Structure 1
C-alpha cells in the first residue's frame, strides 16, 4: 500500500508538470475552494422526543437519552430551545445552579404557553438541559426545555406516545386532581399518587404556592414550615371555599405540601405543591372543591 501511494504521488507530479492547466482552473489543486468549516455540535429542536430510564429529576443529556419519534414510547419532550448569552454564555464550564435562573424563567414561560396552564398543575416535571461538558467545550451554547409526565410526586416517569401541547387546556388531561397519600408505618408522608376522583382517595391537589421573594432554599424544616404553611393553608382553604379562619374549624381535613428540590429552588423554582388530606381513615370518591366545612 505504501508503494502504491508513493507511485501515485510521483505520477501525479509528472502529470501536472507535463500538462497545461485544465480548463476553468487556476492551477491550484484546490482551485480556490474554501476550507471545510469546523465541526459544530448539532442543536436540538422543539418537537423532539427522547427515551430515558430513571426518574425525571435525574434525566440529563448523555448516551442514556435517545431521540425517538414522538409517536413511540418516550420519557421527555423538548418544547423550546434557547441560548445562553452574556456572561453565562462566556463561561468556560457548563452553567449550573443560579446561572440557570434566566433559562428557567424562559422555559417556564414557554411551558405555560405550550401547555395552556401552569405546568405545576400537571403531572409534569419541567427540566432545563444545558449541553454536556463535551458539547460546551465544542462551543454549544444552547439549552433545552423539556417536559416529562410523571405518575407520582417522586418523579417516576410515565412514558407517553403523544405530545404534551395543549394538555392543560380544555379537559386538561394531564392535570393533577385527586391523589392517594402514601404514608409510612409512622404516618409520615412518602408520596402523593394521582388518581381519578371517582375512585376512593384521601387527598387532592389544590394549587401551587410561590415564594414571595428570591430567598435561598430554607434548608431548616422549621424555616420551610414558616414560609410554606401559611401559603398552602390559604390555597387549601380557598379551594374548599373557606376563609383561613373557617378552615381552622375543619376537623376532617388537614393539608401538606411538596417542595421543589434545593437544586430547582436555587435556579428559580421556588414553589410547593399544596394538597388537602383527609384525617384518619376517611376517603371519598369525588372532588372536595367548594365542599366548605360540610362533613365528609
Structure 2
C-alpha cells in the first residue's frame, strides 16, 4: 500500500513539472472565459395568441396558441410601466396609464375605435413571482366580446386591421329583447332585415363613481339622445324624446376602474320595426310622434 501511494505521489510531482506553456497561453484554463450572462426576466412579445384570457402571466403560466388556431385573446402591444415595488393595483394612476396606452395602441392595431365593435381590450400584468424576478411590463390583449364585455369567444385569425374593412364585429343593427327597463338580449341582424335597434355612437361619461354611472339614467338619456340626433341627422332638441327610444351599454366595472369612460348608445323602438339604417335618415324617417 505504501508503494502505491509513493508511486501516485511521484506521478503527481512529475505532472506538476511540465515544460513552459506554449507562447500566447498561460497556466490558467478559466480566466479567459467570458462570464455567463445574467438570466433575463420573462417578457412577452406582440403577435402571440392565447387559449385563455388571464389577468396575470409569467413564465410557464401562459397558454400560447397559433393565431391560425382557435384562441380567445391576442397580444398586440407590450408596454413598460414606471418602476414600482409591485404591479399597480386596479384604479391607481399606474394601472390607468397602462390601460390608456393599451386602448390607444388597440386603435392602431385594429384600424379603428374598438368601442364601436364587439371587441374588448384587457391589460395583463406579470405575476407577483415574475415581478419579483425583475419583470417590468404590461401586456395588451384584445378579444372578441359581447356588448356586456364579458362573453369572450374564440376565433381562428388575427384581429389585426379588423376595423379597416367590413367586419361582422362592427356594431350595427339589432333585434333586442327587453324586459321592463332591462335589455336581456341584443341579437345582431342585417340593417336590411327587420330590427328595432341600431348602434348610433359613443358618449364620454364624467368621472363619477361606477354606482353613479349605473344609476344616472337621466344623464344617459340626454347624452344618448344627442348621439342619436347626430347619427340620424335630426335636430338635437327637446323633441328627440318623441322621435325614438334609446339603449345604452356602460363599460364594465373593470373597464371603468381602469379609466374607460365611453358609453355605447343605440337608437331603439319598442314597437316600430325598421328595414334600413337610420344613419343620416333625417326628420322624415324619424318624425316626432
2:240 aligns with one of 230, 235, 247: 247
Deviations 1:201-251 (A, max 9, x none): 32111111113x5x232413675334433222100121121122242332x
Q: What's the C-alpha RMSD, in Å, of the aligned pairs?
A: 3.0
Deviations 1:141-198 (A, max 9, x none): 11111111124435312322111122112324431111232334x4521343433323
Task: Find out whether 1:201 has 2:195 as its counterpart.
Answer: yes
Deviations 1:91-148 (A, max 9, x none): 3344432221211221122111222211111110011111122211111111111111
Partner of 2:228: 236
CA contact (8 A) 2:86 2:128 kept: no
Partner of 2:267: 276
1:101 aligns with one of 69, 89, 96: 96
Partner of 1:263: 254
Partner of 2:48: 48
1:17-32 correspondence to structure 2 within 5 Å:
18=16, 26-28=26-28, 30-32=30-32
Partner of 1:178: 173
CA contact (8 A) 2:79 2:138 kept: yes
Partner of 1:139: 134
Partner of 1:292: 282
Secondary structure of 2:274's aligned partner: coil
Instruction: Provide the rounded CA distance (Å) in 2 between the counterparts of 1:200 and 1:15.
Output: 100
CA contact (8 A) 1:95 1:130 kept: no
CA contact (8 A) 1:232 1:257 kept: yes
Secondary structure of 1:37's aligned partner: coil
Change in CA separation of 1:187 and 1:217 when aligned onto 2, cut-off 3 Å: closer
1:163-174 correspondence to structure 2 within 5 Å:
163-174=158-169
1:189 aligns with one of 173, 180, 183: 183
Secondary structure of 1:207's aligned partner: strand
Instruction: Provide the rounded CA distance (Å) in 2 between the counterparts of 1:265 and 1:195.
Output: 29
CA contact (8 A) 2:72 2:143 kept: yes
CA contact (8 A) 1:94 1:132 kept: no
Bigger radius of gyration, 1 or 2? 2
Instruction: Provide the rounded CA distance (Å) in 2 between the counterparts of 1:139 and 1:164.
Output: 31
| 5+ long unaligned stretches in structure 1 | 1-9
Partner of 1:4: none
Partner of 1:80: 77
* Deviation at residue 262 of structure 1 after TM alignment: 2.8
| TM-score normalised by L of structure 1 | 0.78
- Of 39-48 and 286-295, more deviation after overlay is shown by 286-295
Secondary structure of 1:111's aligned partner: helix
| 5+ long unaligned stretches in structure 2 | 1-7
Task: Find out whether 1:161 has 2:156 as its counterpart.
Answer: yes
